[in-house]
């Protein structure tokens, strides 16, 4: 695989990893914007804007966007997170040009008022739908409790109140501020010609204005709090505990990924064998999330309300034991093999490499080959895991429960 990088005169970065053995090509626009780049007054506008992109521009109607993607046989979609909005499609190599043309239209949609008013109701319904999903609702509550007033605690969807109050003019201003070329990266992976991609990008995106609001990396101050939210309409208790972990540029992130697998992977981690396999809980896992300037451990428990206290004590014992005694060489080797295997399997699909390439560039402004990632994983030692836990203990700082428990 061969990597290439170019910067257009207007500041748009174009990245490509060519794999001539692949039978498809994946391409997408990574936008360095998400809920953390909003203000409370426009909470949810990044996700709302993702919806509006599929309403089309002066050349494509909403029906055209879906029709053309389907005619190309594309696997396409978009997503919004706390820090990134992604518009992507995977197609056959011969469909690269029309696919890039259509994706470019999504980045510069017309944002018609009639579409805005109609889609607003769709977003409000979506918020209600996710509010009815306990695992999502407790995640929202935990993020808000942990980050407090920090922007990483803002809801990706926003609230019914913020979306209802949002105006089309506010969205236009946000788009103009956040979708400048310095906040955009065009990424492609698979079977394609990079010089052709660059030429097509210059033709389709070369007139876009340079710009893009710089993200304010304010250090969060996680909140030490325990909070129980009573919701009698659900039968199980859902509990999330959070604490600091390595940020996206910290070299210890590889060790964090492996530790989260050893302790908390669904189906094989220590928490699984202690609580799920034994029948004490439906779910018990530990996840690691990396953000721009911060990272977090997140322990998730789902069980019967009467079993919560005992299960939380069991989780604490498991975490204390691994911090006290470390991990075994057998566990480390197993985790290393699993993460390495997933890295390789993901790399065999252009869509898998697209995500890795885009996130590496957005967070670390670097290109890392599959071989470099594998070498980094092979180099993680038990001592690295111990250093990780000394710097970022598996201790509960913020704990939020949602369910029938009073």
CA–CA dist 357, 3 (Å, integer): 10
Averaged pLDDT, 143-169:
95
159 neighbors 137 (Cβ within 8 angstroms) = no
214 pLDDT more than 90: no
- Determine the pLDDT at residue 213: 81
290 neighbors 270 (Cβ within 8 angstroms) = no
- Determine the pLDDT at residue 215: 87
145 neighbors 223 (Cβ within 8 angstroms) = yes
Of the chain, the percentage scoring pLDDT greater than 90 comes to: 94
By C-alpha distance, which of 318, 282, 276 is closest to 303? 282
Averaged pLDDT, 164-185:
95
| Chain position carrying tokens 């997933």 | 342
pLDDT tens sequence across 100-132: 999 999 999 999 999 999 999 999 999 999 999
What residues form DSSP beta bridges with 280? none
Torsion sign across C-alpha atoms 202, 116, 62, 350 = positive
CA–CA dist 56, 362 (Å, integer): 26
Averaged pLDDT, 29-54:
96
Task: Give how far the C-alpha of residue 210 lies from the chain's centroid of Cα atoms, to the nearest Å.
Answer: 26
Averaged pLDDT, 13-40:
96
What residues form DSSP beta bridges with 297? 243, 288
Could you tell me the two tokens for 35?
């809920």
How would you label 357-384 residue by residue, b for 16+ Cβ within 10 Å and e otherwise? bbbbbbbeeeeeebeebbeebeebeeeb
CA–CA dist 241, 228 (Å, integer): 12
- Determine the pLDDT at residue 1: 87
CA–CA dist 295, 139 (Å, integer): 15
270 neighbors 285 (Cβ within 8 angstroms) = no
The confidence band for 28, taking pLDDT boundaries of 50, 70 and 90, is very high
Between 208-217, 238-247, 388-397, the lowest mean confidence (pLDDT) is in 208-217
5 pLDDT more than 90: yes
Q: Which domains, and CATH codes, for the chain?
A: 2-205 (3.30.830.10), 225-403 (3.30.830.10)
- Determine the pLDDT at residue 290: 95
What residues form DSSP beta bridges with 4? 16
pLDDT tens sequence across 307-331: 999 999 999 999 999 999 999 999 9
Averaged pLDDT, 197-211:
94
- On average, the pLDDT of the chain sits at 95
262 three-class SS: helix
pLDDT tens sequence across 61-103: 999 999 999 999 999 999 999 999 999 999 999 999 999 999 9
pLDDT tens sequence across 287-308: 999 999 999 999 999 999 999 9
Give alpha helix (H) positions in 220-369: 253-264, 270-271, 308-325, 329-347, 350-364
Averaged pLDDT, 145-174:
95
The confidence band for 357, taking pLDDT boundaries of 50, 70 and 90, is very high
206 neighbors 181 (Cβ within 8 angstroms) = no
The confidence band for 232, taking pLDDT boundaries of 50, 70 and 90, is confident
- Determine the pLDDT at residue 171: 96
CA–CA dist 199, 50 (Å, integer): 26
Averaged pLDDT, 21-26:
96
131 neighbors 121 (Cβ within 8 angstroms) = no
- Determine the pLDDT at residue 172: 96
223 pLDDT more than 90: no
Could you tell me the two tokens for 174?
């946000």
Q: Which is higher by pLDDT, 228 or 406?
A: 228
């Amino acid at each position: 695989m061969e990597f290439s990088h170019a910067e257009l005169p207007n500041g748009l970065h174009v990245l490509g990893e060519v794999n001539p053995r692949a039978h498809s090509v994946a391409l997408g626009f990574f936008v360095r914007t998400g809920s953390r780049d909003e203000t409370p007054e426009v909470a949810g506008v990044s996700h709302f804007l993702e919806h509006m992109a599929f309403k089309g521009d002066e050349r494509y109607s909403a029906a055209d966007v879906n029709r053309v993607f389907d005619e190309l046989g594309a696997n396409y979609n978009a997503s919004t997170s706390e820090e990134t909005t992604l518009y992507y499609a995977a197609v056959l190599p011969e469909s690269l040009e029309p696919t890039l043309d259509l994706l470019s239209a999504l980045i510069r949609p017309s944002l018609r008022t009639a579409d805005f008013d109609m889609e607003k109701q769709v977003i409000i319904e979506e918020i209600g739908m996710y509010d009815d999903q306990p695992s999502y609702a407790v995640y929202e509550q935990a993020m808000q409790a942990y980050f407090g007033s920090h922007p990483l605690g803002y809801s990706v969807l926003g609230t019914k109140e913020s979306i209802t109050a949002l105006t089309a003019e506010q969205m236009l201003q946000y788009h103009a501020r956040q979708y400048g070329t310095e906040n955009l990266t065009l990424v492609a992976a698979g079977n394609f010609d990079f010089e052709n991609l660059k030429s097509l990008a210059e033709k389709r995106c070369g007139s876009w204005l340079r710009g893009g609001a710089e993200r304010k990396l304010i250090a969060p101050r996680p909140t030490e709090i325990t909070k129980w939210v009573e919701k009698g309409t659900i039968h199980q208790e859902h509990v999330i505990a959070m604490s600091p972990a390595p940020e996206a540029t910290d070299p210890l992130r590889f060790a964090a990924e492996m530790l989260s697998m050893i302790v908390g992977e669904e189906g094989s981690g220590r928490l699984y064998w202690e609580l799920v396999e034994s029948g004490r809980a439906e779910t018990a896992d530990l996840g690691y999330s990396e953000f721009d300037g911060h990272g977090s451990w997140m322990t998730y428990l789902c069980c019967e309300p009467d079993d919560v206290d005992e299960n939380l004590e069991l989780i604490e014992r498991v975490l204390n034991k691994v911090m006290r005694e470390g991990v075994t060489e057998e566990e480390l080797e197993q985790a290393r093999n699993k993460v390495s295997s997933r890295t390789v399997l993901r790399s065999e699909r252009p869509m898998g490499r697209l995500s890795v390439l885009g996130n590496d560039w957005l967070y670390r402004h670097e290109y890392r080959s599959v071989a470099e990632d594998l070498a980094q994983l092979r180099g993680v030692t038990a001592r690295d895991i111990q250093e990780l836990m000394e710097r970022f203990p598996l201790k509960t700082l913020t704990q939020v429960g949602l369910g029938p428990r009073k």
